[in-house]
Structures are given as structure tokens and as C-alpha cells.
Amino acid sequence: MNFSEFKFLLGADPRSREPEFQRARHSSAEFEAAASEADRFEGLLDRAALIPAPDDLFGEIFTISQQPVGSAGRRRWLPMALAASLLLTAGAAGWIWNMNRGWATVEEYVVDHYRHDGNLVPTEVGIDQVQALFAGLDMQATPALASIVNVIKYCPTPDGKGIHMILNTESGPVTVIYMPGTRVVDREMMAFDNVEAMLVELQAGSAVIIGPDQQSVSALYSFVQESITPAPGNS
């Protein structure tokens, strides 16, 4: 595993227990440094998520903001205010969402997931990287699907860890979420936030396709259904 592949997997699943990934963590000083930084950041997120917010947190931040610039009180409390603002505006929403397993319906999950994670920035993703993430769930993607993936990462689903992808299609970026243990009504459509979504029943689990309109989503139905299958020996 080269460093680029390692960094990709480190970002997609930093706590992976895959043997090859674990060996790579200790293969050189460069790998160890990247792994240590990822572990440090994950630890910060874990600890921060356990800290209860004071009941009067918003009031404290407002009071700090009203103090004269340069005052002793403002200087003393500014780090706390900045940390609290970061927690409230960026981190907390992600941690709370990732811990949420209480979606009442698949439709509720799809809307919640897309609003939280739908606008990921496209990156360079190799076919081997796509297959590595699917292999972690005992699944595989066809080369045709893997070749048009611009973003891929593990994500929570109503029934455990799944895969979030953004595909580069002729009609533009389309999101596909693979849900390993979730049963759906095949071909059921939904619309929200100016996008259309279609549920897809797979050989193992299900998927949802989310795109700009019904035509672009429907056009990918058969392609997605045929492109995500159990890995050999797991059918």
C-alpha cells in the first residue's frame, strides 16, 4: 500500500482493523506520523463529544462578545468562546448525526443524510480505492461503476456502516448511498430540497440514488442495481 492509498483509507475509515492497513501504519516514519495525527484528531473529537455544554453557554459567549476589544476579560475567555463556537457550528452537528440511529423511516434517513453529507468536494479516487472500501463490507463494485466515482467514504446507515459515493455522470454529479442491511421498496421515489431520489433493491442490501431530477436518477437505476454485488464467496 503506497502513501496515497494509505492517506485515502485513513480519511475514509481511520479506525479500520484491516491487516494491510494496520501493517501500513507502522511501515515508515511518514506513515506513522500521518496515523498519529489522525488518531490525535479522532481522540479530540471523542473527548469533545463527551463534554456537556453549560446551560448558559450562549449567554456566556454573548457576554464575552460585548466586552471591549483588548480587555482582560475578553482575552481570558476568548479561547473558550472560539472553542465553543467551533463545537456548536461545525463539530457537534457531525457527532450528533453520526450517533443517530433513530431514523423512523428510510425516507427520513435519506433526507437527513443528504442534507448532512450531500455536498462533499470531489477528489481523485482510484478504482482500487473504491474496491477496497466495498471489500470492507464483503461487497464489490463493477469496474464501470468504480471508474466514475469522484467521492467515496464509509457512512452510517439505519442498519450499520454503509458507503457514500458521488458519481461523475453525463448529467452531472449524482449521489449513491449503499445501505448493507436496509430493506426498501424498490423504485420508490421521493423529492426534497430540489433533488429527486430513488430507492434500489440490491442482491445484498439496498441503495438510494439522489440526483437533480427524476430522469437522471431513473437512468441510473439498472446500472446501480447491477454494479453493486456481493464479493465472490459472499453471495
Range of the domain at 63: 57-99
Q: Is residue 38 part of a domain?
A: yes
pTM over 0.85: no
Q: Is residue 204 part of a domain?
A: yes
Q: Is residue 235 part of a domain?
A: no
User: In terms of domains, do 136 and 114 share one?
Assistant: yes
Q: What is the pLDDT of residue 31?
A: 84
Q: What is the pLDDT of residue 206?
A: 95
User: In terms of domains, do 68 and 113 share one?
Assistant: no
User: In terms of domains, do 90 and 119 share one?
Assistant: no
Give CA–CA dist 235/230, Å, rounded: 5
Pair 151, 166: CB distance under 8 Å: yes
Q: Is residue 206 part of a domain?
A: yes
Q: Is residue 124 part of a domain?
A: yes
Q: Is residue 177 part of a domain?
A: yes
Q: What is the pLDDT of residue 200?
A: 96
Pair 205, 179: CB distance under 8 Å: yes
Nine-digit cell string for 162 = 454503509
Q: What is the residue-level pLDDT of the chain in tens, covering all 235 positions?
A: 787 777 767 766 777 777 888 888 888 888 888 888 777 766 654 554 444 545 554 455 455 445 555 555 444 444 444 444 433 333 444 434 444 445 778 888 888 878 776 555 556 678 888 998 899 999 999 999 999 998 888 888 888 889 999 999 988 889 999 999 899 999 999 998 889 999 999 999 999 999 999 999 999 999 999 999 999 877 6
User: In terms of domains, do 199 and 152 share one?
Assistant: yes
User: In terms of domains, do 20 and 67 share one?
Assistant: no
Strand 189-192 with 172-179, pairing: unpaired
Q: Give the Cβ contact number of residue 204 at 10 Å.
A: 16
User: In terms of domains, do 29 and 112 share one?
Assistant: no
Q: What is the pLDDT of residue 51?
A: 47
User: In terms of domains, do 216 and 143 share one?
Assistant: yes
Cα–Cα distances in Å, from 181 out to 110, 184, 197?
A: 14, 10, 19
User: In terms of domains, do 139 and 162 share one?
Assistant: yes
Cα–Cα distances in Å, from 87 out to 53, 78, 108, 212?
A: 10, 14, 25, 32
Domain count of the fold of the chain: 3
Pair 3, 30: CB distance under 8 Å: yes
CATH number reported for the structural domain that contains residue 186 in this entry = 3.40.1000
Q: Is residue 20 part of a domain?
A: yes
User: In terms of domains, do 63 and 148 share one?
Assistant: no
Q: Is residue 135 part of a domain?
A: yes
User: In terms of domains, do 84 and 123 share one?
Assistant: no
Q: How many Cα atoms are found within 13 Å in the side-chain-facing hemisphere of 147?
A: 4
Residue 156: which H helix or E strand, with range?
Answer: strand 149-157
Q: Give the Cβ contact number of residue 134 at 10 Å.
A: 22
3-state secondary structure of 144: helix
User: In terms of domains, do 25 and 84 share one?
Assistant: no
User: In terms of domains, do 154 and 215 share one?
Assistant: yes
